[in-house]
Amino acid sequence: MTSPNATLQIGGQSIELPTLRGSLGPDVIDTRALGSQGYFTYDPGFLSTASCSSSITYIDGDQGLLYYRGYPIEQIAEGSDFLETAYLLWNGELPNVEQKQEFDALVSQHTMLHDQMLSLYKGFRRDAHPMAVMVSIIGAMAAFYPESGDVADAKQREISMFRLLAKVPTVAAWSYKYNKGEPFIYPQNHMGYAENFLYMLHATPCEDYQPSPVLARALDRIFILHADHEQNASTSTVRMAGSSYANPFACIAAGTACLWGPLHGGANASVLAMLAEMGDVSRIGEYVNRAKDKTSGFRLMGFGHRVYKNMDPRAAIMRQTCYEVLDELGLHDDPLFKMALKLEQIALEDDYFIKKKLYPNVDFYSGIVLRALGIPTSMFTAIFALARTAGWIAQWNEMIVSPGHKIARPRQLYTGPQRRDFVPVSAR
């Protein structure tokens, strides 16, 4: 089926704009020719703009669907693991047994950081935020692997992709260890990806730590759920930075910096803070009423999403993971989880939330799982960054190899002064 053209009537002129049809989702009006006609579109925040074409991730916010390369997130979270998910995001297809073994082995060969990087860590204050450290260390890797700057070379791109995926857990775990004043724990290559990360966080030289398979699996699922989410702010940042053929480590550092912002990563920590402040199920009504009162400036944390106007499919998976983790740890009566369940039930039956299509998002339950895994809130965004690295790399590579690649160069609606003559300071 062909898509109809759109016609733009402006200043007595009629401009025909083709529409493009993707494999799923709404048609997209192709405005590329407008610039040559002297017009630009104005869309701050990209509310109505597709910034690229991509075959990696699909979201239908009205129906609450999330697909990685066509596979529903529920099926991937149930049947796959994070490294296989990364393989899928990068390559477009699921690996066979040999391909999976080879991929896992390659990742495990790159987990150590260059020894000189220890000096970089030691330059930070002990109370440095883990995200500040991650942005710096990931960016600094460009200095350790200068050949990675040759982004036209497919082999170099591939090595950088593996290095990033493999080293980011070590970078994140060490930023936490440095905060705590504990020695860095080296990665164990025989361990699974999430298992190894928990080990590097919680083991010390004098005490071993072996995470239970249920807990490692829960963290792996958090990684899967956060691995990609199409053209969100941090992914768009990675693409924007990479569009100039910048070094990939610098691009991922840029994405990490963007994710750090409270409007992007970090809402799960706010959910925990809100539940802790609430303190008891008896106060849920009070908080729901505050969230509905526009003058309060308060919002129910973990509710609502720019794209999902239905249940965030990741939230339902996270809720189930909460049950599994708390069960494993014998925390059946976890008060925060009980409050979260009740709050979800009350909000979903409330007219305000129904009318505004405000449903729990992935952050609503993920903080409870991370807390149960012994991970402090200061590390929540770092874990998001670790997982999203898989998607950032896939999107970066897709952009680099896309035919007709162009540097990203948005235009603007200028609102400053018109031409005027400079006046020397003595005459002002």
Q: Interface with ligand ACO by CB under 6 A: which residues?
A: 264, 267, 291, 299-306, 356, 358, 361-363
**C-alpha R_g of the chain:** 24
CB of 285 to ligand ACO, least distance (A): 14
350 belongs to the catalytic site: no
CB of 312 to ligand ACO, least distance (A): 7
CB of 280 to ligand ACO, least distance (A): 20
By C-beta, is 299 or 338 nearer to ligand ACO? Answer: 299
The Cα 413–Cα 428 span in angstroms is 29
CB of 371 to ligand ACO, least distance (A): 17
Q: How far from 346 is each of 100, 109, 232, 286, 304, CA to CA, in Å?
A: 44, 49, 30, 11, 15
- Hunting for tokens 């000189």 — which residue is that? 116
Q: Which of 81, 228, 350, 363 is catalytic?
A: 363
By C-beta, is 59 or 166 nearer to ligand ACO? Answer: 59
202 belongs to the catalytic site: no
Q: Which of 228, 305, 312, 350 is catalytic?
A: 305
The strand pair at 57-60 and 28-29 is best described as unpaired
By C-beta, is 264 or 338 nearer to ligand ACO? Answer: 264
CB of 36 to ligand ACO, least distance (A): 33
By C-beta, is 82 or 353 nearer to ligand ACO? Answer: 353
Q: Interhelix angle for 154-180 vs 82-91, to 10°? A: 150
Q: Say if residues 388 and 228 touch (Cβ distance below 8 Å).
A: yes
**Residue of minimal CB distance from ligand ACO?**
304
CB of 77 to ligand ACO, least distance (A): 16
By C-beta, is 174 or 380 nearer to ligand ACO? Answer: 380
Q: Say if residues 60 and 308 touch (Cβ distance below 8 Å).
A: no
By C-beta, is 194 or 267 nearer to ligand ACO? Answer: 267
Pick from 298, 322, 311, 288: which is nearest to 360 by CA? Answer: 311
Q: Say if residues 196 and 111 touch (Cβ distance below 8 Å).
A: yes
CB atoms within 10 A of CB 64: 19
Residues with catalytic function: 305, 363
